[in-house]
């Protein structure tokens, strides 16, 4: 019964995996970029808003965080167009979903970072006559960024891996490429070994790059 590993078929279709990886990265970058905007805006709004707004933002965060991503992907891709009259590609639908999803996680990261900025620094900003916007821009956000960088790195890596969920709606990213090769060659062990290695290496490279950024900023603490 000995299963003999044979990677030849994998290499023959490697363009599916390589193209998939690039698409995974693209999906991650676009979604996270939108997520950062959502997260920043809502976090800043949250810390300066009254109870009602806080409640709405908290509800968004809790909803997203307590529903599995795969379900959100189905809801947005299959559910929404049947209710409202809109049409979008699987890829657009996934980016929208992952952006909303990462936004919810990033609100939490940014919010706790904003709240961790020492009051004394804000007092110092007030004392030299900075307006609220200037204090936010020149005092609170820069310090918040330094505080949240480690947590941000972890969130980014995790969101990159979450792009694999896009395979369930046939977005041809890395995991989808793996499934395609598996269906067509039945080399299940080989293909998933290669894909695992690809996720692992990409994750490590991302982590390494983010740690470099962190170190640069930490020196400036």
Minimum CB separation from another protein for residue 42, in Å?
A: 22
> What are the distances in angstroms from CA 153 to CA 16, 42, 128?
28, 20, 33
Tell me which residues touch another protein (CB under 8 A): 118, 120-121, 123-132, 134, 138-139, 142-143, 146, 219-221
Nearer to another protein, 45 or 192 (CB): 45
The pair of structure tokens assigned to 25 is 């990265």
Q: At what angle do helices 90-116 and 14-48 cross, to 10 degrees?
A: 40
Closer Cβ to another protein, 48 or 158, answer by number: 48
CB of 44 to another protein, least distance (A): 15
The residue among 137 and 197 lying less far from another protein, judged by its C-beta, is 137
Collapsing DSSP states into helix, strand and coil, what is residue 3? coil
Shortest reach from residue 139's CB to another protein, in Å: 6
Length of the chain: 221
Dihedral sign for Cα atoms in the order 84, 90, 91, 94: positive
CB atoms within 10 A of CB 123: 11
Name the residue among 96, 66, 68 with its Cα closest to residue 171.
96
Comparing CB distances to another protein, the nearer of 15 and 115 is: 115
Closest distance to another protein from the beta carbon of 41 (Å): 20
CB of 143 or CB of 163, closer to another protein: 143
What is the closest distance, in whole angstroms, from the C-beta atom of residue 216 to another protein in the complex?
Answer: 12
Residue 137: other Cβ atoms inside 10 A: 12
In 75-187, where does DSSP find H-type helix? 80-83, 90-116, 119-127, 132-135, 141-162, 174-185
Q: Which is nearer to another protein, 45 or 74 (CB)?
A: 45
End-to-end CA distance of the chain: 60
In whole angstroms, the minimum distance from the beta carbon of 154 to another protein comes to: 22
């Amino acid at each position: 019964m000995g299963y003999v590993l044979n990677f030849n078929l994998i290499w023959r279709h490697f363009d599916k995996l390589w193209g998939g990886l690039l698409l995974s990265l693209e999906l991650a970058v676009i979604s996270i970029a939108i997520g950062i905007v959502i997260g920043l805006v809502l976090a800043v709004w949250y810390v300066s808003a009254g109870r009602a707004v806080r409640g709405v933002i908290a509800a968004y965060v809790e909803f997203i965080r307590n529903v599995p991503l795969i379900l959100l992907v189905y809801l947005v891709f299959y559910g929404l167009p049947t209710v409202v009259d809109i049409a979008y590609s699987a890829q657009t639908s996934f980016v929208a979903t992952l952006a909303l999803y990462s936004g919810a996680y990033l609100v939490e990261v940014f919010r706790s970072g904003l709240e961790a900025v020492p009051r004394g620094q804000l007092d110092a900003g007030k004392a030299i006559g900075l307006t609220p916007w200037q204090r936010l821009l020149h005092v609170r956000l820069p310090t918040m960024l330094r505080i949240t960088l480690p947590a941000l790195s972890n969130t980014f890596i995790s969101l990159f891996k979450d792009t694999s969920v896009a395979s369930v709606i046939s977005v041809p990213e890395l995991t989808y490429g793996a499934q395609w090769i598996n269906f067509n060659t039945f080399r299940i062990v080989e293909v998933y070994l290669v894909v695992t290695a690809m996720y692992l290496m990409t994750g490590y490279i991302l982590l390494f790059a983010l740690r470099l950024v962190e170190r640069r900023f930490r020196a400036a603490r």
